[in-house]
């Protein structure tokens, strides 16, 4: 099973499936469509799954492993996303490191790109295991091709072992998670699962049922340009206004100075001239009241600066992106407790932290499908230093199978 798991993973990562935040299509890139239709669908059909479909309306591939028991059993879903993050995902060349020695790994000698233990002490956890890394020029794509490979491998195992009783098992692989809109059009009613799991976490043991509340803030500034020689009392520099706005935000509530359950605002982009400037922020907090207060601060600062100018030159557009799925899951912790029991049965220490981010489950839970997040095994996602251990992926497969096995006794 492990050999096939690795083979699938390597096949999947060879396809460039980066999403595009500036695209208005669904999915946002044609590469995701091609991967779903030419790789995933044929494989699921060849395994013998039922109802294999590509949904043109939302870009998801779905399939069913039918129940093989007469017991009344919950229908469980497993989901992963096909897109990769905004980092080079073309021509991925995975490097295998069997029996990892615990020291620095030279990813690319020619360009002096080194995966250093001093920078990534998490490497110490993988001594003796088989690591898969990049060649230093691309990301790896374990986020979330590892999740896809794990789900497909687990379903393959269940098909080969009909003695394991289970109810209906639904699987779904969707687009555009990395740009925050993959789950927006997912048809929860059609999927018809009682609860689900995204296989989209990082290190072994992660079981996440809380996420950030998330919003995006676009702040626009209007200026007035005149000749600098006669500018006194007349010129208004939009870029200076933007700088002043950012200065007034709490300077310690930024990603590089926060951790655990501490929220933040994060300046993602800026552009400008004297006439017009724009700042793009994301706002994050696990606590809904603190989240709302952070958003309110943006409006308050804009009003203060406009009052000082005596003009309406600063405007804020706030757009909520997703909410803390813990608000939904805490009402019925059955899926969380089931995954926890599965990991405990497999002697996997459970790491139950609030995600400093979001998953498709953040939206799906509010859409009526309670969906905690389980580890996929990779680390250092979204860049050239990404890696995954073969043993970690196998443990994720084992957890899926154990969840299914335990579910008949719920």
Pick the closest to residue 123 from 397, 346, 378, 355 (CA basis).
378
- Look over the chain and give the mean of its residue pLDDT values, rounded to a whole number: 96
Q: What is the pLDDT of residue 326?
A: 96
Question: Residue 179 to residues 23, 65, 143, 192, 390: CA-CA distances in angstroms?
Answer: 10, 29, 13, 25, 27
Q: What is the pLDDT of residue 359?
A: 86
What's the mean pLDDT in 264-293? 97
Q: What is the pLDDT of residue 312?
A: 96
Q: Render pLDDT for 346-390 as a digit per residue (tens, 0 to 9).
A: 999 999 989 998 889 999 999 999 999 999 999 999 999 999 999
Q: What is the pLDDT of residue 180?
A: 84
Which residues face 276 on adjacent strands? 222
What's the mean pLDDT in 48-75? 97
What's the mean pLDDT in 388-394? 98
Set 20, 83, 285, 398: catalytic member: 83
pLDDT above 90: residue 7: yes
Set 177, 210, 398, 402: catalytic member: 177
Q: What is the pLDDT of residue 353?
A: 87
What's the mean pLDDT in 285-289? 97
Say whether 165 is catalytic: no
Which phi and psi (to 5°) does residue 114 adopt?
-125, 130
Q: What is the Rg, in whole angstroms, of the alpha carbon atoms belonging to the chain?
A: 23
pLDDT above 90: residue 185: yes
Q: Where do the H-state alpha helices sit in 22-141? A: 30-35, 41-47
Q: What is the pLDDT of residue 410?
A: 81
CA 359 to CA 196: how far, in whole Å? Answer: 12
- 279 with 242: CB under 8 angstroms? yes
Q: What is the pLDDT of residue 5?
A: 98
CA 100 to CA 115: how far, in whole Å? Answer: 13
Residue 197 neighbours by CB under 8 Å, 6+ apart: 76, 77, 78, 79, 335, 339, 361, 371, 372, 373, 374, 400, 403
pLDDT above 90: residue 21: no
Whole-structure pTM value: 0.91
Q: Exposed, middle or buried, 215 (CB in 10 Å: 0-12/13-18/19+)?
A: buried
pLDDT above 90: residue 281: yes
Pick the closest to residue 75 from 108, 51, 100 (CA basis).
51
Quote the crossing angle between the two packed helices 390-407 and 142-160, to the nearest 10°: 50
Percent of all residues in the chain with a pLDDT value above 70, rounded to a whole number: 100
Q: Render pLDDT for 81-95 as a digit per residue (tens, 0 to 9).
A: 999 998 999 999 999
pLDDT above 90: residue 229: yes
Q: Where do the H-state alpha helices sit in 40-195? A: 41-47, 142-160, 188-191
CA 310 to CA 302: how far, in whole Å? Answer: 12
Domain annotation for the chain: domains and CATH numbers: 2-210+324-407 (3.40.630.10), 215-322 (3.30.70.360)
| Strands 95-97 and 131-133, sheet pairing | antiparallel
Q: What is the pLDDT of residue 219?
A: 98
Q: Render pLDDT for 294-343 as a digit per residue (tens, 0 to 9).
A: 999 999 999 999 999 999 999 999 999 999 999 999 999 999 999 999 99
Q: What is the pLDDT of residue 156?
A: 98
What's the mean pLDDT in 202-213? 96
Residue 269 neighbours by CB under 8 Å, 6+ apart: 278, 279, 280
Q: What is the pLDDT of residue 22?
A: 87
Q: Render pLDDT for 118-158 as a digit per residue (tens, 0 to 9).
A: 999 999 999 999 999 999 999 999 999 999 999 999 999 99
What's the mean pLDDT in 164-168? 96
Say whether 206 is catalytic: no
């Amino acid at each position: 099973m492990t050999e096939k798991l690795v083979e699938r993973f390597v096949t999947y990562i060879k396809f460039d499936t980066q999403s595009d935040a500036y695209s208005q299509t669904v999915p946002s890139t044609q590469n995701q469509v091609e991967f779903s239709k030419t790789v995933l669908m044929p494989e699921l059909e060849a395994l013998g799954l039922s109802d294999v479909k590509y949904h043109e309306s939302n870009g998801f591939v779905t399939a069913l492993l039918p129940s093989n028991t007469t017991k009344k059993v919950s229908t469980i879903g497993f989901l992963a996303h096909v897109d990769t993050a905004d980092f080079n995902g073309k021509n991925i060349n995975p490097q295998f490191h069997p029996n990892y020695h615990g020291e620095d790994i030279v990813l690319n000698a020619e360009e002096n790109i080194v995966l250093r233990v001093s920078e990534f002490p998490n490497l110490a956890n993988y001594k003796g295991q088989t690591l898969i890394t990049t060649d230093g020029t691309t990301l790896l794509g374990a986020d979330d091709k590892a999740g896809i490979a794990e789900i497909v491998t687990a379903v393959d195992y269940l098909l080969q072992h009909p003695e394991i009783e289970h109810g209906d098992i639904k699987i779904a692989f969707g687009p555009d998670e990395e740009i925050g809109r993959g789950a927006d059009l997912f048809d929860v009613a059609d999927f018809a699962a009682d609860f689900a799991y995204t296989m989209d976490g990082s290190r072994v043991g992660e079981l996440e049922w809380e996420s950030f509340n998330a919003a995006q803030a676009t702040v626009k500034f209007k200026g007035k340009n005149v000749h600098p020689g006669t500018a006194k009392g007349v010129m208004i520099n939009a870029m200076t206004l933007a700088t002043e706005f950012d200065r007034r935000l709490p300077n310690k509530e930024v990603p590089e100075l926060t951790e655990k359950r501490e929220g933040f605002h994060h300046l993602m982009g800026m552009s400008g001239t004297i006439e017009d400037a724009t700042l793009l922020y994301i706002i994050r907090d696990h606590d809904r009241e603190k989240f709302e207060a952070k958003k309110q601060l943006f409006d308050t600062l804009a009003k203060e600066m406009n009052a000082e100018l005596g003009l309406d030159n600063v405007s804020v557009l706030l757009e909520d992106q997703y909410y803390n799925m813990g608000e939904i899951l805490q009402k019925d912790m059955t899926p969380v407790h089931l995954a926890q029991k599965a990991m405990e049965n497999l002697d996997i220490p459970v790491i139950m932290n609030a995600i400093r981010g979001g998953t498709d489950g953040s939206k799906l839970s509010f859409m009526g499908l309670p969906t905690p997040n389980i580890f996929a095994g990779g680390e250092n996602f979204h860049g050239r230093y990404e890696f995954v251990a073969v043993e970690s992926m196998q443990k994720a497969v084992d957890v899926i199978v154990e969840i299914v096995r335990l579910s008949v006794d719920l």
